[in-house]
Structure 1
Amino acid sequence: MPHGARTPLRATTAMLAAVVLVLAGALATLHAQRAAAATTTVLSADFENGLDSWTGRGAAAVALQSTDSPRGAQSLEVTGRTASWNGATRDVTSLFTPGTSYTVSVWVRLPSGSSGSAGVRLSAQRDTAGTSSYDTIATSTTVTSGAWTQLTASYTPGTFTTASLYVETTGSLTDLLVDDVLVTSTALTPDLTLPAIKTAWASSFPVGAAVEAPETLGARSDVLLRHFAQITPGNAMKPDATHPSEATFTFTGADQIVDYAVAHHLRVYGHTLLWHQQTPAWFFQHADGSSLTTSTDDQALLRSRLQTHIQTLADHFRTTYGEYGAAGNPIVAFDVVNEVVDENQSDGLRRSEWYRVLGPSYIADAFRYARTAFGPNVKLFINDYNTEYANKRAPYLALVKSLLAQGVPVDGVGHQLHVEIGRSVSDIDATLSAFDALPVRQAVTELDVSTYKSSGESWTTPPTTRLVEQGYYYRDVFAVLKKHASSLESVTLWGLDDSRTWLRSGAAPLLFDGTLAAKPAFWGVVDPSRIEATPTPTSTTPTPTPTPTPTPTPTSGGACVVDYQVSSAWPGGFVGQVTVVNTGTAAVDGWTVRWTFGAGEQLSQVWSATATQQGTQVTATNLSWNARLAAAGGSTTFGFIGTSTGTPAADPTSASLNGTSCVVR
């Protein structure tokens, strides 16, 4: 109403009552959706009445025992182990369904009299066409004889002909005690009569989703095919997945997803040819493991490796699916380079191993190699995050303009849009408008909207009011995207449902919840009138210039900040990134950063730093090119790949810079 106008008390009361009734209806609908998702028990074994179909694996033998502190009257004893993979096993071929998510739990202990501790692991074996796959579900490194330890985690099996669960160790050959095995699942019964997202936006742009193998199976596949016209392989096409060693290329995972696209007439947006993360260390090393230098020979070697990588990928998909642009080949676009902008550097470019060896020239090289390899019928994109912020937008725009001026074949610009409720939609509009002026296509490549507004928030399930607010935020984002539809190649959600997001637990950033039920976010995209309860409109005030990643509330610390992010995760592994900021009054020349992992993670690969790990503590040290941290805000970023037995911890429990305790973000 106009400023200063008054409403009679009776009318005000009536309006408030109406709002309450509408909100109550929205709450009731959401609670009903959650209640409809019943949890069922798939497997339960307490060993009170027998072995419950558990047997020995390898040389191990199993038997019931009742004298060594069972959790009930009896537990399972595992003896005679001659190798770490020997243990107790149970066939689950008829119990598990590929693509279905299960919560798996088992209690383990060492027999009385055992000394020290042992690493014990709950695993699964899947066999298909004579090939076995082994999946780690959960691990504890501190199982003792003093108390029972629970191993529990979510597990989504891939395809199999036969499958089994088993308990093993990480190295010790100790006897084991096992009890109270429980596997549950939540029925996934999506409503496939809902309006299709792809149809709602067909006249504007294709809408896609990032997928892994589980999204191509069962109920998730039904939802994917109902609502999306395009898919992006989340990890299967990245360098570590396709090119693990110089002489080895593997395309099994990528082909599975592209085969699925061909079978169901989906477009494929490839991701990614060059990235500072998830690139094997050998790319930047000599045969003896020493680091490449900036010598002419080493630069030529790295360029050759990059060109070979790109050409081999392009040749494989051409040979397997036909020429690009032909009916049988669904690949329409590819992220050529990913996340190469750093707004904190004077030239706006990230300091990575690619940059260290080749300088900025590698970006143009990658695009030229890709054009030669893929030909004219695959659109070549550059891709980055936080591009909606003005301080990131400026160097990104300058880079693309520079590449175009050099005649580099950049066809498109990708904006990830990993955002949270409340981030200014006018900033998104401003970025899309800025690039509208260039002769390039644009794409939203990794869209998700976290329900958290700060790092201080944490929940298992977001409050219903926050889910409603998320629905309206999606509405506002898609209204902006529609405004720029003529320049958008596609819009991709980074995942299908909340149970498989890369963000921390409770973020719930996608359109469907973990049971594949449509959320208010879904209606925000398809039909905002059905969100029902209207919250305060999304702010259109430009967002203040941020640090490179959203800044949560810090914990206590000294004159330094360690910003730790898990950028992606998958069963058994994850990618992490650490930004260290010198907030002191003096420059730092040479740095050592230490942090403590909080969930049993282990380093396996590091870039832009050297690092070692002892127990849970990681020590990372600068390279020659990133040793200096200027006073009052100088920073550097390095990354790593790690292994994990469950969900990696969102933040380390402590961190320091050159011995000084830091703020941890």
Structure 2
Amino acid sequence: MITGAALLTAVLTSVTTPASAADTPLRDLAAARGIYLGTAVTGGKLTGGYGDLAGAQFGSLTPGNEMKWEAVEPARGTYDWTGADRVVAFAEAHGQQVRGHTLVWHSQLPGWLTGGSWTPAQLRTLMTDHITAEAGRYKGRVDHWDVVNEPLNEDGTLRPSLWGAALGESYIADAFRSARAADPAAKLYLNDYSTDAVGAKSDGMYALVKRLLAQGVPVDGVGFQAHLVLGQVPASLETNLRRFAELGVDVAITELDIRMTLPATDAELAQQKADYAAVLRACLAVTRCAGVTVWGFTDSDSWIPDFFPGQGAATPYDENLAPKPAHAGIAETLAPVTPPAPGVCSVTYAVSSQWTGGFTAQVTLRNTGTAPLNGWTVRWTQPAGQRVTQAWNATVTQTGAEVTASHLSYNAAVPPGGTVAFGFNGSWSGTNPPPAALTCATGT
């Protein structure tokens, strides 16, 4: 069972999607909510409609391949910055951040490096020299670096890569220290896949980050790739993000896509919309979640079909650059939360305990007016089919997805500035997001 004081917490009175929300760039909606929405791009395609969408809709760019070792240092000590420069220049021209991806990885390494016979000392020097050259070139121009990418096995142990096998875990600390020296202002991230849910691999990453921080290693953030399968957004995603944030580091969803079996059906696209929204909500719920990056924004530029035959349609735009329902799911989730109008009550909702198939939530009503309340009612819509099974300190009824909670005789009166709380147990399956909005009314 997973427990915590605030696994899911939201301050909710009313949420609206303005008529103009569909016309507001996603990057602006995200910025207004305090996060960035980014995308991975192919630098050579940053023209025409592809370039227009990349520049207009996203606040951060990640080069898909242009900053990887084999691309920038194809021969020892010989650098080709053409592709990386193109992406960075495009981002600067469009007022976008850049996520540098990646300085040290076990894959896409040049043959001269993987085919060489290096002593551990030589290999360490090659690594730190490469970091110094690349991070130094873009000093002050890259906001976040994936310093070390995919360092772990599925069981959370150190991957026996070129780096891990020869240098052990120490290569990670050396890489971060070299990156900090080369670009003191950039945020430095560990990044990996299959760490989105609480489990063996994320536990290994959690323990690794704790060890590195204890050694004074400058880890600023942890990236969660989130290459997800339709309908399988981890129920513990938010909980997992929060536990890393509580270590004192930023967190980010760095490579989000949600694949499905082709051809895509309307039902699959609707589920994908809900899944994208669920991931965005998890990030918004965690104060130190810096942002979300989709790994390619159009299905014509997605890696999924090449690696998962028969699957695809994983991004928010189709092959013709038309927005899919997933785009609307992102926009609706990022839409501004209407602040509570001057009135008499506001409501907060928090999940205090969650386990497989069940959860406990608390709802708190506050009298925001200047006169005492004499009776109250709270209403909300369960967004994912959750059912109330037991309640206390209120009369709670549910019809379909609609829930109504009313005062009892002993807690009907609420003084100005005072609060009253009630709780309930509920059941869930698939995901357990908080309600998009709770409304309150007063009187008997």
TM-score bucket of the superposed structures, by smaller chain? 0.5 to 0.7
- What corresponds to 2:330 in structure 1? 525
Q: Which amino acid in structure 1 is aligned with residue 148 of structure 2?
A: V
Aligned residue for 2:143, secondary structure, equals: strand
Contact 2:252 2:283 in 1 (8 A): no
- What corresponds to 2:225 in structure 1? 416
- What corresponds to 2:340 in structure 1? none
Could you tell me how far apart the structure 2 residues matched to 1:499 and 1:402 are? Answer: 41
Q: List aligned pairs for 1:619-634, cutoff 5 A.
A: none
Q: Which amino acid in structure 1 is aligned with residue 103 of structure 2?
A: L
Among candidates 133, 136, 152, match of residue 315 of structure 1: 136
Q: List aligned pairs for 1:393-404, cutoff 5 A.
A: 393-404=202-213
Could you tell me how far apart the structure 1 residues matched to 2:235 and 2:257 are? Answer: 17
Higher relative contact order (CA 8 A, sep 6+): 2
Which consecutive aligned stretches of 4+ in structure 1 deviate over 4 angstroms post-superposition? 534-538
Could you tell me how far apart the structure 2 residues matched to 1:257 and 1:386 are? Answer: 27
Q: Which amino acid in structure 1 is aligned with residue 238 of structure 2?
A: D
- Computing the radius of gyration over CA atoms, which structure comes out larger, 1 or 2? 1
**Structure-2 change in CA distance of 1:370 and 1:535 (3 Å):** closer
Could you tell me how far apart the structure 2 residues matched to 1:245 and 1:232 are? Answer: 24
**Structure-2 change in CA distance of 1:468 and 1:540 (3 Å):** closer
Among candidates 365, 373, 377, match of residue 182 of structure 2: 373
Q: Tell me the alpha carbon deviations over residues 29-64 of structure 1, each in whole angstroms, 9 at most, x when there is no partner.
A: xxxxxxxxxxxxxxxxxxxxxxxxxxxxxxxxxxxx
- What corresponds to 2:295 in structure 1? 494
**Structure-2 change in CA distance of 1:503 and 1:381 (3 Å):** same
Q: Which amino acid in structure 1 is aligned with residue 431 of structure 2?
A: T
Residue 344 of structure 1: how far off its partner (Å)? 3.0
Aligned residue for 1:225, secondary structure, equals: helix
- 1:472 and 2:274 correspond: yes
Contact 2:44 2:83 in 1 (8 A): no
Name the Cα RMSD after superposition.
Answer: 2.3
- What corresponds to 2:173 in structure 1? 364
Contact 1:284 1:302 in 2 (8 A): no
Residue 528 of structure 1: how far off its partner (Å)? 6.3
- 1:432 and 2:235 correspond: no
Could you tell me how far apart the structure 2 residues matched to 1:209 and 1:336 are? Answer: 18
- What corresponds to 2:431 in structure 1? 540
**Structure-2 change in CA distance of 1:237 and 1:528 (3 Å):** closer
- What corresponds to 2:338 in structure 1? none
Residue 506 of structure 1: how far off its partner (Å)? 4.2
- 1:300 and 2:130 correspond: no
- What corresponds to 1:136 in structure 2? none
- 1:509 and 2:299 correspond: no
Contact 2:283 2:291 in 1 (8 A): no
More helix by share: 2
- What corresponds to 2:192 in structure 1? 384
Structure 2, unaligned stretches of length 5 or more?
1-20, 336-382, 387-428, 433-444
Q: Tell me the alpha carbon deviations over residues 325-350 of structure 1, each in whole angstroms, 9 at most, x when there is no partner.
A: xxxx3x111000000011436xx111
Q: Tell me the alpha carbon deviations over residues 266-310 of structure 1, each in whole angstroms, 9 at most, x when there is no partner.
A: 111100000000112322444xxxx33xxxxx1111111111101
- 1:449 and 2:258 correspond: yes
**Structure-2 change in CA distance of 1:241 and 1:194 (3 Å):** same
Among candidates 44, 47, 60, match of residue 217 of structure 1: 47
Q: Which amino acid in structure 2 is aligned with residue 341 of structure 1?
A: L
Contact 2:55 2:91 in 1 (8 A): no
The TM-score with structure 2 as length reference comes to 0.68
Residue 213 of structure 1: how far off its partner (Å)? 2.1
Contact 1:388 1:430 in 2 (8 A): no
Aligned residue for 2:155, secondary structure, equals: coil
Could you tell me how far apart the structure 1 residues matched to 2:226 and 2:270 are? Answer: 20
Q: List aligned pairs for 1:260-279, cutoff 5 A.
A: 260-279=90-109
The TM-score with structure 1 as length reference comes to 0.46
Residue 490 of structure 1: how far off its partner (Å)? 2.1
- 1:339 and 2:150 correspond: yes
Could you tell me how far apart the structure 1 residues matched to 2:76 and 2:155 are? Answer: 33
Identity %: 38
Residue 499 of structure 1: how far off its partner (Å)? 1.2
Contact 2:281 2:333 in 1 (8 A): no
Residue 193 of structure 1: how far off its partner (Å)? 7.2
Aligned residue for 1:387, secondary structure, equals: coil
Residue 424 of structure 1: how far off its partner (Å)? 3.8
- What corresponds to 1:661 in structure 2? none
Could you tell me how far apart the structure 2 residues matched to 1:403 and 1:281 are? Answer: 30
Residue 373 of structure 1: how far off its partner (Å)? 1.0
Residue 536 of structure 1: how far off its partner (Å)? 6.6
Could you tell me how far apart the structure 2 residues matched to 1:222 and 1:384 are? Answer: 30
Could you tell me how far apart the structure 2 residues matched to 1:384 and 1:378 are? Answer: 19
Contact 1:468 1:535 in 2 (8 A): no
Residue 262 of structure 1: how far off its partner (Å)? 1.5
Residue 221 of structure 1: how far off its partner (Å)? 1.3
Structure 1, unaligned stretches of length 5 or more?
1-191, 293-297, 319-323, 453-458, 542-665
Q: List aligned pairs for 1:191-230, cutoff 5 A.
A: 194-202=23-31, 203-230=33-60
Residue 527 of structure 1: how far off its partner (Å)? 1.9
Residue 429 of structure 1: how far off its partner (Å)? 1.4
Could you tell me how far apart the structure 2 residues matched to 1:249 and 1:302 are? Answer: 18
Q: Tell me the alpha carbon deviations over residues 162-192 of structure 1, each in whole angstroms, 9 at most, x when there is no partner.
A: xxxxxxxxxxxxxxxxxxxxxxxxxxxxxx9
Contact 1:472 1:528 in 2 (8 A): no
Could you tell me how far apart the structure 1 residues matched to 2:293 and 2:194 are? Answer: 16
Aligned residues: 318
Could you tell me how far apart the structure 1 residues matched to 2:242 and 2:328 are? Answer: 26
- What corresponds to 1:164 in structure 2? none
Residue 226 of structure 1: how far off its partner (Å)? 2.0
Q: List aligned pairs for 1:20-169, cutoff 5 A.
A: none
Q: Which amino acid in structure 2 is aligned with residue 337 of structure 1?
A: V
